[in-house]
Chains A and B, each alone.
Chain A
């Protein structure tokens, strides 16, 4: 029942507006036709752009895996002190919007010059504005995704499975032939996520003048104002993404890697001699991925006054941005939880269609969804709602629920079905099982997905600008409306400011989440009663 409600809700707020835009794309002055689509395939220009997009996404996701998977391994399998803080530091690039990283990389040439490394600066300057430059920046943004996914998967692999192999094979072969095969579906899921994100990413290629398909869609909206053609322009990207997604599914199947958690026996660890290598890699990644960009930004802020002035009068925007993204995250996770649960547990034949719908909705440019929502909701009867924050929240929820559903479905698959069956058989109603068994075991996943959506919603601009009530603003909107003709120092300080506003709640939240586990039994009891 609840699942049906969630499904209807999802169709209402996310599928309907996009469907409306799709219908629009079929309408041409000559009546219903595929003209908008056929014109996409005829140009050689489009082919070049699509190839570039594909190359960008493929290389970015590969590089992100090459960085992220070893780091995830390092976090999960070495005897590391202060592990949560390492993890936190290593995941920060994901939380900084890509365009801020892009801007800081552009500034980094100046920094190198200032440090007296003019030759390097010249090299970097020419190299940044190219496909490889975009690949490096995007993979530095997104490597935390495969890192976190890999770490989580490694931790989930049953200790007993590993130990069984360890006895006969030694730890090296165990890692190679038992542990890694068990985690590679998760790593592949991370790959897919990065692939979609970098294929749909618009700001960094635009900044670095790399010609990709995402900018083409944008051009349709920004230069030609033809909604139908613009929506159609998104279809080649969707096709590429869906092909990749189903290729991965087909290669891996819906494997369930479930195991009993074990608290008292520690997972298989690599020898301590590996630790320095892991630390070295992490420090290197952190230097390039965080320190360099932030230092470059900080260097541009010539007067502390600039930083202070740019943050002045933004309290309202910060407040609404935080509340808006928190609300959107909660609602999207709530809705995504039901959808993801349904997806993981259903046996319906067309369950794969749900995957396709989610992936498409997630990869579709926000503008398509935004305009669809305006068309759908801007009705005189709904005025009391359309002109409020509520519609922005609907937009953000519609934007991020598909991702929540995809990720949470993956999480639910890791839960043993028999836990739920045991509850059901022993008299629990469906919702008791859901609230008492499923949700508590998904807790970590819910927090992680919620935080990811919070961060993405915080930086969202495309939908917000279309739906924001007049007279209101969010922090990124304000920054966007301010940076155009501002000097570098203001631009840099605003970027730094937004970074701080995103990272601050992270460090607060992590203080809450990463506090020493194992609460006392009494506490656990109290929580459950």
Chain B
């Protein structure tokens, strides 16, 4: 290729070595393949480069989404333009200011089926994603969103609101969103690792793994309860120790075994096991499908975590790995303490309720045994530290942290579900007149307390004179004043 007739000076052998060394600055095969894929995608994207589905006009009844031109009008790379061109940042900030103060705040606790749920998914969380820069913060925000999705389903199920309408929303919006967020976590973790930030990558993947594995346990349990008692979901108790153990062991074996094949086999059997549960109702089907999705991502995350931890553990930089393992030790002890106090809290909850079942006691003993196994890991890790095998110590501390995290998250999730169910059963047996139920739901009060006292306060707050000030929305006035009338008659009855 080169034209060698040109006169060029000779380089000394040492210089030639130098030039060869410079060539070591290159992309890894993985990086190259990733870039290649991005380019291939870019090549097949029609100009203007980035077309997206219109987030504000998503029609769930009609599966066709009409593409619109992205309002950000990217020139090269959307995220890069965001970073380099200040007007986009201004735009994003303006959006957050306008939407962020009112609606978005109100949408924060929205569940599938609530009017603001779509705002939460498509505006609030999208804005959060757009405003996070760098792989680490993007991974963290995606992790948060993914776990929020799972918690939403759990809350919804516990509230007994899992009906055909909300199920459709879960399948069509929640689950795809969960998948997107989980994929984003995986992608960003891989990115961090390829940039040499294996410690951070391992940390995030490890956290995500704990979340997924704990919520998988909770979801499986909820599914079984839906099957057994689809009418009265509020009667169920703590996790069955047996199933928790079973799932835990399966996942752990798969992850610990290390080889790709074993992991795949194990988790695919897990996925099959959770999806092949005989579906007695739509809700069971929905929950199983979500559990399967969680299982798939759990596998991916466990792989990513193992790979990132492996990179840290075999690092040749002794000081760095020593530092990492010492941090991991401190973190694992903190997490074990947190998990222990969660167990203590669970025990006190059981004692305070009269209906303490053997199931809940079993689940506590499982939690306790897992905490002691985490403690064993920590002390084994400390022995490794003394012998200078920091890599091994790091892996053990991380494992202990994860175990403790899983115990804590699982107990907290169950506790949350139980609380909701308690409130629900109170609301159901409470003295709220039937004809008021609809109204109360609209005003969002009966769902939390269901007593007529709160109804009165609401009635006072939404004074008819005040509501008549709203002139632009005549239907709203009618609705509000009717509501107030109903409330008044009810509360003075």
* A in complex with B: no
Interface, chain B (partner A; CB < 8 A):
none
Chain A contact residues, CB within 8 Å of chain B: none
